[in-house]
């Protein structure tokens, strides 16, 4: 989950980066400063292996030096960028997480219109609902999508077997056509083993269900509807049902306790947008071959995706654009999927054997490319607004409070709504 607020340390770091011009760490030894036409500064957030992406590019362009800084988590990186834009000291290239993008799209004057560098010629390469997100009202394009976050459920097949449940991914997917059926499966698992079924309710239930509808926190015209959205209320209620059923391990995502519980097999299932697979590998490497991946309840949805943007004032926008156009072309995204399992936002590769034939041994040979692209087919996405991150964080915080015994489930919805209104002023 994203943190409730940006830490004091993160704000200080953002200010330091902005004032210092972000010398950062480098994937190679730069031969010149930021004015060097073959050197560019790149800000990314942590947890997505930006160093690996930079290394892939360097293999193709060894003459280019990338001064890479992993600023912090996605929210902290967005805060650093906001500070940098205000101070005038900006990187040449920055990665922006999808939920943080809208507030920057509202200020396109702060970014290079990528149409001037060739984005108008390649925008058709991307899913239309994805490329629409970095497109401002004046038609300018401030970012190019790097990936999308197709959804699935990762589960421990070995633990399912011990509980007397089916283990094959197709049979497992049939256990939970709906989220209510997912909870019922969890109750059977917990009854058979005495252990929790899923890591937590806020991330593995609420954050999944809320990302499967056609309307989330905003309506298509940009009006706030989080308080009356049926999809949001349904997602919240499903999370409360999971807690009431006693099937959660009460381990908040990305915490030390969550990592330890995953290693020990203290839960058997976790909602796994495609980017979560790397976290499972990294946190529980000894469980290779124990996991498999099945269809998510409801069959489709998207959570995640990021964009590369070039701030106005960048010293080397052409070098930054070369990185974007090389790494985020359909072929570039396909190559990156083979390396990092980052799901392409370029539908022309969805039937490519290099994607459809990938069978990941860590996840029992699951055909990840097919599973995750199938979860995007026919998707009618919702509008992401400038306060989507804050709203989602407050709903998640309210659910975590209930799960940790600090909140009343009967009052949790009202508490979340109150906190959201206090946070965003409306």
- pLDDT, tens digit, for every residue of 206-255? 999 999 988 999 999 999 999 999 999 999 999 999 999 999 999 999 99
How far CA 184 is from CA of 70, 153, 165, 231, in Å, comes to 41, 15, 12, 21
Is 194 exposed, middle or buried (CB count within 10 Å of its CB: 0-12, 13-18, 19+)?
exposed
- pLDDT > 70 in the chain, percent: 91
Q: What residues pair up with 307 in beta bridges, in sequence order? A: 96, 145
- pLDDT, tens digit, for every residue of 270-309? 999 999 998 999 999 999 999 999 999 999 999 989 999 9
Closest CA to 396 of 240, 222, 193: 240
pLDDT in the model for residue 244: 98
pLDDT in the model for residue 88: 80
Strand order in the sheet with 93-97: 65-70, 39-44, 93-97, 306-309, 144-145
- pLDDT, tens digit, for every residue of 161-209? 999 999 999 999 999 999 999 999 999 999 999 999 999 999 999 999 9
Dihedrals φ, ψ of 377, to 5°? Answer: -65, 130
CATH of 153-301+367-424, one of 3.90.550.10, 3.40.50.720, 3.40.190.10, 3.30.70.270: 3.40.190.10
- pLDDT, tens digit, for every residue of 387-422? 999 999 999 999 999 999 999 999 999 999 999 999
CATH of 8-149+304-349, one of 2.30.110.10, 3.40.640.10, 3.40.50.360, 3.40.190.10: 3.40.190.10
Distance CA 383, CA 369 (A): 25
Closest CA to 376 of 318, 305, 289, 314: 305
pLDDT in the model for residue 26: 38
Predicted model pTM: 0.86
In which residue ranges of the chain is CATH 3.40.190.10 found? 8-149+304-349, 153-301+367-424
Distance CA 71, CA 81 (A): 10
Q: How many CA atoms lie within 13 Å of 226's alpha carbon, on the beta-carbon side? A: 28
């Amino acid at each position: 989950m994203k943190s409730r607020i940006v830490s004091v340390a993160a704000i200080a770091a953002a200010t330091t980066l902005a004032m210092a011009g972000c010398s950062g760490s480098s994937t190679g030894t730069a031969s010149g400063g930021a004015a060097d036409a073959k050197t560019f500064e790149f800000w990314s957030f942590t947890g997505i292996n930006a160093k690996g992406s930079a290394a892939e590019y360097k293999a193709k362009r060894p003459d280019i030096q990338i001064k890479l800084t992993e600023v912090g988590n996605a929210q902290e990186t967005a805060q650093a960028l906001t500070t940098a834009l205000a101070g005038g000291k900006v990187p040449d290239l920055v990665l922006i997480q999808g939920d943080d993008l809208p507030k920057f799209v509202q200020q396109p004057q702060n970014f290079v219109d990528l149409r001037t560098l060739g984005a108008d010629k390649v925008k058709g390469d991307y899913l239309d609902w994805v490329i629409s997100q970095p497109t401002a009202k004046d038609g300018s394009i401030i970012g190019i999508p790097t990936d999308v976050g197709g959804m699935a459920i990762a589960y421990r097949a070995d633990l399912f077997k011990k509980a007397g449940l089916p283990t094959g991914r197709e049979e497992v997917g049939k256990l939970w056509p709906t989220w209510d059926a997912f909870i019922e499966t969890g109750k059977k698992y917990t009854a058979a083993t005495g252990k929790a079924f899923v890591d937590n309710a806020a991330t593995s239930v609420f954050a999944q269900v809320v990302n499967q509808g056609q309307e989330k926190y905003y309506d298509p015209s940009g009006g706030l509807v989080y308080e009356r959205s049926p999809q949001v209320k349904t997602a919240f209620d499903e999370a409360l049902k999971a807690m009431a059923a006693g099937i959660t391990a009460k381990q908040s995502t990305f915490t030390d306790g969550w990592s330890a519980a995953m290693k020990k097999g203290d839960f058997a299932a976790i909602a796994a947008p495609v980017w979560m697979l790397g976290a499972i590998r990294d946190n529980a490497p000894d469980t290779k071959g124990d996991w498999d991946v099945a269809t998510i309840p409801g069959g489709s949805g998207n959570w995640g995706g990021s964009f590369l943007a070039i701030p106005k004032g960048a010293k080397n926008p052409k070098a930054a654009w070369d990185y974007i156009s090389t790494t985020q072309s359909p072929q570039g995204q396909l190559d990156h999927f083979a390396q990092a399992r980052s799901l392409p936002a370029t539908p022309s590769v969805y039937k490519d054997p290099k994607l459809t034939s990938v069978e990941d041994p860590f996840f029992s040979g699951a055909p990840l490319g097919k599973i995750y692209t199938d979860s995007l087919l026919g998707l009618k996405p919702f509008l992401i607004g400038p306060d989507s991150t804050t709203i989602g964080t407050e709903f998640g915080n309210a659910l975590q409070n209930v799960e940790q015994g600090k909140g009343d489930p009967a009052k949790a919805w009202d508490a979340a709504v109150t906190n959201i209104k206090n946070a965003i002023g409306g």
